[in-house]
Amino acid sequence: MAVELKKDKNILAELFSGNPFHIVNAIEKIKKSGNIAYLPDIFSIYWAGIDPSVKLSISNLITELKTEQGVSYIVDFLEDIDDENDLSYFTGACWQSVLDFSNFIDFFIKLAINGNYETSIEAFSVIENSCLNINDEDRKKKAAILKNSLSSIPDEKKPLIVELIHVIEK
């Protein structure tokens, strides 16, 4: 599907209406179109404080997005999330998607190392899916980063990170 970068003013009006029903409706239209030009607008709604239905709709959009050019927007969004629960939630949407996050494995490695246990598990899954698309030399580098971090990782997360090292080295 070709990526249409033009924004429809009616969709933008719905998106910024403040009405959760209209916002979800706009996100559904955007999801169907695959137009990544709206992603910064959608993610800005998150920062304004959102209704749970809108949060779910954003997560579903990430999960169902098929346009690879959207990956950098998604990672930029994740980098700015301070709430650990939301970070875990939206990271989970990444591993459930068909998108290739291999160019951003370092970001997800940082999440696995620094995030809470749930975020680490979600990041693990993204990394596991993305490892298929990186070469052996990069795999060794990524595994080395994780090995070097083991001494600073809480004991409850060490088995997870050790398993992640094994996954990457395969």
Q: How many domains does the chain have?
A: 2
Q: Go through 35-60 and write b for each residue having 16 or more CB atoms within 10 A of its CB, e for each that does not.
A: bbbbbebbbebbeeebeeebbebbbb
- Asked if 154 and 102 sit in the same domain, the reply is yes
Looking at the structure, tell me whether residues 107 and 168 fall in a common domain. yes
On whether the CB atoms of residues 84 and 111 are closer than 8 A, the answer is no
User: What does the pLDDT read at residue 6?
Assistant: 87
Is 74 in contact with 94 (CB distance < 8 Å)? yes
Handedness of CA 146, 151, 153, 159 (dihedral sign): positive
Judged against a pLDDT cut of 60, whether residue 160 lies above it is answered with: yes
Same domain, yes or no: 54 and 92 = no
Claim to verify: residue 42 and residue 115 sit in the same structural domain: no
Confidence of residue 170 (pLDDT cuts 50, 70, 90): confident
Q: Tell whether 151 is covered by a domain.
A: yes
Residue 46 pLDDT class (50, 70, 90 cuts): confident
88 and 58: one domain? no
Residues 99, 52 share a domain = no
Question: Is residue 56 situated within a structural domain?
Answer: yes
Domain limits for position 126: 80-170
